[in-house]
Structure 1
């Protein structure tokens, strides 16, 4: 039993004879010896430790068995034995059914992440009996104080990147290793105890506590546009197409009724019962994920058309996104206004070579770059972090997208975050573990933040005395505000003078470092620097050997 351990002289085991619910097929059984005295119970060590801060925690658990008395909850140092939180609650449990108990308590801060959660009870009142527990939860403060919400510290760091959209539930998370383990929207809604969870595509258990409604609350709280991905017949083990896809198309329409239907519709009423009376706002729907890969190409045009026809007839104003940009894997012709989703993971030089990727593309075919990031693919496996050469290459590619923002409608760096001890893919935008102050933004995090926070709505022509390379640039404007972005992808310094009509000064934001310099877990050495600049004065790029992104923000005078 992962992460569970007995406290004192009890035996714990997984009990399938007493499931917590129809969805949760087992529970944790605690056998208390006869003639017991003192407190006995069990511990949970979390994901390589429990983060313990100076905060108020909410905890809940389901319990079954004859016990009336005190239960003690603690947050304890795994090796130090220091007790950071100690809280008692009185329960009255019976052997007839599971009952849920909730409580909250305050904690002091632990200096590290090597902590665990303890539940113990009075052995003298349970001697010689068995008690069962299930669906145990411990929440620190959550973002926007949402019940079953995002960890506040992790979400706040993400919010500072000024995201504008979220594509969910994936990505690979959508597809399933098999058809049966795909993401099923209707098993991710309602009470958590009624969500069965599943094996994820990255080989770890997924409880689906972050479900359909939770994704949408997340979007609403961060003012992001939801991009809803729907399952389109492709899992990693099997592909369903033709007439066999019809029930799954119907399932998509049911999902949309749940999200968009009035509360007097069958499924809109279910949504209202789950806490959201007003329909959600969904403007974008993506059909599948990466259907040009893992054997999906040949059948995707037909699968896409089946789903597109059903959705477009019922919701004609919804923008539809195809899951790839390979024309041989798409219907011909692609329906008007359908966005093509491109996913690109490249080495640094390859990203720079794609600076002009969109310059000569048809202007009537919109695209999104739904996933991109620089990978040091010379490393076959293991964890590595963004480094300045890679981040600078991303900046060059992003400038190419921004210069073509008439057709590049959306772009998202991926993946978003990782636990240092449970990495599945590298690099990511930022990482963390159970230790305090562990959240570590990568160099790419600061780049994403700089681009998202400094953007205009009109791309401007630039007169230059040099060709692109190794210096790259883009200029935009919003109202009276000008934004000029530059990146030096070469090993030598570059002196740059920028002149903008009707301006005399501005603000400079810089990200710089040597070629392989980057941030490592717990160590943030490269971050955004700020300075004031005067119009017409030269600025040196870069003060380090490689990789500097400059952002001028100037206003008309």
Structure 2
């Protein structure tokens, strides 16, 4: 994901200056047709079978661990730095009444010990409790810990007694005032490592709770993997995913889940790239990595942002299965982020990277008697995940990418000829990088090319025709990352406002109308923590207690829950509606539900009447409309008003073979009618 675009600040400022908002003029910039607010625009649906199918993957979700989306977000672990593996191994941990420099007040202290060997879990904490003055250890969580009254939270800790007689370890949830709002304890036994568990029931809802640990007795004890999870996770899985966030994803009805990124795939350096093999197997053996977004932006430094990989490749595949979405993993092609170091692995050293791709396919699809299929089976999923797609590189560009892509494609197709490979056209939707990438990928008969665009709202409205002239016999399109930028790319002032969402709705009519060539699409980024974000805008916002979908989320949901199966045509005077009179439209048939689905976007600041001729088909008179609108283009949703902009459903009756609608100003409307 291109978010380290600091080298392009001037470029983004120039582009941002072109944003002028949705215009209401007597002459739309895309046409010479004049109109007035009181006139009616006549449209016609052509029911002839175009032979073009809407792919089940047309609308999906793209997940990247940015904005605390995984640790502190989707992955429900509440303890930050649970195994003391951060570069500063005490980060996240507090010793409020320990003073090593004053023996009169020193009740104890913690020391981080480095293990011998090469295990992924390198460190553990050694706690010495010296007297009865009450040594305390606290974890601050991810900008606090969100706990809900009467909810249950599961404690787990690995412990090994070294000396003395520490009889009990007490765990408390404390509120922002330090008052206990839930407590439990364990009795550590033995000098060997053992896992101890218990449960806390919260007596109060608190957004900024902490975990407080106290000890009964004195002595030395080693601690590791100190963990706190809500019991109520997605599908009730122990130590699983945050339920409300997954539900928001499930409600999108995604056709695919792209993971794990994004620029974190590449890493700032090759040593810090995402390596999927380090994210599977026992949780305590997964080696953590500093998140590449932790200090990327001066405006939002987050030095405490790491990846625990509790949400690893197995969990991504499992989540895809839960959502009924095709898994689409993206792997490093041996090029670090070209906006950072651009470090290249030499071609003669590329084999391990290629082998990672081949091994991933075996992990996802291999029989249980294969090496990586056995790893999957041992993790609790003997059945294959039936992965069909794999991405090579995130958004690399230039000859170095093409040279490496060739090697990956040859190796993958030789062993797995049916695997569909997703390639990339670089970080921008135009320019030299883009043109070169497309030219070379077409020569290589690439199957799917990933295009990214972070642009002003006007660009999205103007580009509803982007794919009209694309070669139907060439590579298919994955609109893999896009979002209208209200200010400028990488600006902290970007908002998920209604103008951005409305402009994306207009643009998406062009994606759907060109379903013959566009096979996948996804907004990005997906999620952002209220206090932990680095990049805006984002589809879903959350804090430690609650979450909500932005207006952009509702646009995506309206498309993805009304995708249809077959593309039809809707025209004005025989031409597709691509912005004439500030109107955009597309129509599909859903042969599974026997429905006609018409999507209409009015970007004018005045309501418009449309009359749709349905005489070519056998359509029932009764149907439904779903309308998303807001009076001001600057309007947003928020934690205080999460449903400020949300769809409104209404009954609809057509008049004979004519569907008459009044499209609200600056609105997105879906009309669904049953077919006889």
TM over 0.5: yes
| TM-fit CA distance, 1:68 | 5.2
The verdict on how the C-alpha distance between 1:69 and 1:20 changes in structure 2, with shifts beyond 3 A counting, is farther
For residues 439 and 272 of structure 1, the distance between their equivalents in structure 2, rounded to whole angstroms, comes to 34
Q: SS in structure 2 opposite 1:497?
A: strand
Match of 2:417 in 1: 316
Match of 1:506 in 2: 623
The verdict on how the C-alpha distance between 1:332 and 1:404 changes in structure 2, with shifts beyond 3 A counting, is closer
Match of 2:472 in 1: 363
CA contact (8 A) 2:388 2:419 kept: yes
Structure 2 residue runs without a partner (length 5+): 1-89, 99-106, 295-304, 427-433
| TM-fit CA distance, 1:355 | 0.4
The verdict on how the C-alpha distance between 1:3 and 1:389 changes in structure 2, with shifts beyond 3 A counting, is same
Q: SS in structure 2 opposite 1:91?
A: coil
The aligned length equals 538
In structure 2, which of residues 630, 636, 641 is the aligned counterpart of residue 523 of structure 1? 641
The verdict on how the C-alpha distance between 1:199 and 1:380 changes in structure 2, with shifts beyond 3 A counting, is closer
Match of 2:155 in 1: 59
CA contact (8 A) 1:20 1:62 kept: no
RCO higher in structure (CA 8 A, sep ≥6): 2
Moved more, 157-166 or 461-470: 461-470
Partner deviation per Cα, 1:30-59 (whole Å, 9 max, x = no partner): 33223x26x543111211110102322222
The verdict on how the C-alpha distance between 1:358 and 1:379 changes in structure 2, with shifts beyond 3 A counting, is closer
For residues 669 and 212 of structure 2, the distance between their equivalents in structure 1, rounded to whole angstroms, comes to 50
For residues 148 and 69 of structure 1, the distance between their equivalents in structure 2, rounded to whole angstroms, comes to 27
For residues 89 and 482 of structure 1, the distance between their equivalents in structure 2, rounded to whole angstroms, comes to 60
Match of 1:71 in 2: 169
| TM-fit CA distance, 1:403 | 0.2
Q: SS in structure 1 opposite 2:122?
A: coil
For residues 491 and 476 of structure 2, the distance between their equivalents in structure 1, rounded to whole angstroms, comes to 35
Match of 1:138 in 2: 228
Match of 2:207 in 1: 113
Match of 2:66 in 1: none
Match of 1:414 in 2: 524
Q: SS in structure 1 opposite 2:154?
A: strand
For residues 118 and 349 of structure 2, the distance between their equivalents in structure 1, rounded to whole angstroms, comes to 31
Match of 2:660 in 1: 538
| TM-fit CA distance, 1:529 | 0.9
The verdict on how the C-alpha distance between 1:27 and 1:21 changes in structure 2, with shifts beyond 3 A counting, is farther
In structure 2, which of residues 591, 598, 601 is the aligned counterpart of residue 484 of structure 1? 598
For residues 426 and 360 of structure 1, the distance between their equivalents in structure 2, rounded to whole angstroms, comes to 31
For residues 298 and 15 of structure 1, the distance between their equivalents in structure 2, rounded to whole angstroms, comes to 46
Moved more, 1-10 or 446-455: 1-10
Match of 2:355 in 1: 250
For residues 227 and 494 of structure 2, the distance between their equivalents in structure 1, rounded to whole angstroms, comes to 32
Partner deviation per Cα, 1:133-180 (whole Å, 9 max, x = no partner): 222211112111223321112111221111111111111121111111
In structure 1, which of residues 28, 46, 56 is the aligned counterpart of residue 125 of structure 2? 28
Moved more, 467-476 or 270-279: 270-279
For residues 669 and 532 of structure 2, the distance between their equivalents in structure 1, rounded to whole angstroms, comes to 34
Match of 2:375 in 1: 270
The verdict on how the C-alpha distance between 1:17 and 1:200 changes in structure 2, with shifts beyond 3 A counting, is closer
CA contact (8 A) 1:64 1:133 kept: yes
TM-score by length of 2: 0.76
Q: SS in structure 1 opposite 2:620?
A: coil
1:5 maps onto 2:110 in alignment: no
CA contact (8 A) 2:166 2:221 kept: no
For residues 64 and 343 of structure 1, the distance between their equivalents in structure 2, rounded to whole angstroms, comes to 50
| TM-fit CA distance, 1:228 | 1.6
| TM-fit CA distance, 1:75 | 1.4
For residues 376 and 173 of structure 2, the distance between their equivalents in structure 1, rounded to whole angstroms, comes to 36
Correspondence 1:200-219 to 2 at 5 A: 200-203=291-294, 204-219=305-320
Match of 1:347 in 2: 456
For residues 442 and 589 of structure 2, the distance between their equivalents in structure 1, rounded to whole angstroms, comes to 35
CA contact (8 A) 1:287 1:322 kept: yes
Match of 1:261 in 2: 366
1:402 maps onto 2:512 in alignment: yes
1:440 maps onto 2:548 in alignment: yes
For residues 626 and 267 of structure 2, the distance between their equivalents in structure 1, rounded to whole angstroms, comes to 42
| TM-fit CA distance, 1:192 | 1.3
The verdict on how the C-alpha distance between 1:232 and 1:17 changes in structure 2, with shifts beyond 3 A counting, is closer
For residues 357 and 487 of structure 1, the distance between their equivalents in structure 2, rounded to whole angstroms, comes to 17
Match of 2:72 in 1: none
1:459 maps onto 2:576 in alignment: no
Partner deviation per Cα, 1:487-529 (whole Å, 9 max, x = no partner): 1112222112234342212111111012111112332211111
| TM-fit CA distance, 1:197 | 0.9
The verdict on how the C-alpha distance between 1:59 and 1:323 changes in structure 2, with shifts beyond 3 A counting, is farther
Structure 1 residue runs without a partner (length 5+): none
TM-score by length of 1: 0.91
CA contact (8 A) 1:7 1:120 kept: no
For residues 104 and 155 of structure 1, the distance between their equivalents in structure 2, rounded to whole angstroms, comes to 23
Q: SS in structure 2 opposite 1:63?
A: strand
CA contact (8 A) 2:424 2:437 kept: no
CA contact (8 A) 2:173 2:211 kept: yes
In structure 2, which of residues 534, 547, 552 is the aligned counterpart of residue 424 of structure 1? 534
Partner deviation per Cα, 1:260-304 (whole Å, 9 max, x = no partner): 221112232232222222222110011010012xxxx12111100
Q: SS in structure 1 opposite 2:147?
A: coil
CA contact (8 A) 2:143 2:532 kept: no
The verdict on how the C-alpha distance between 1:17 and 1:460 changes in structure 2, with shifts beyond 3 A counting, is closer
For residues 115 and 19 of structure 1, the distance between their equivalents in structure 2, rounded to whole angstroms, comes to 35
Match of 1:174 in 2: 265
CA contact (8 A) 1:488 1:541 kept: yes
| TM-fit CA distance, 1:551 | 0.4
For residues 332 and 47 of structure 1, the distance between their equivalents in structure 2, rounded to whole angstroms, comes to 42
For residues 277 and 135 of structure 1, the distance between their equivalents in structure 2, rounded to whole angstroms, comes to 27
Match of 2:184 in 1: 87
The verdict on how the C-alpha distance between 1:393 and 1:305 changes in structure 2, with shifts beyond 3 A counting, is same
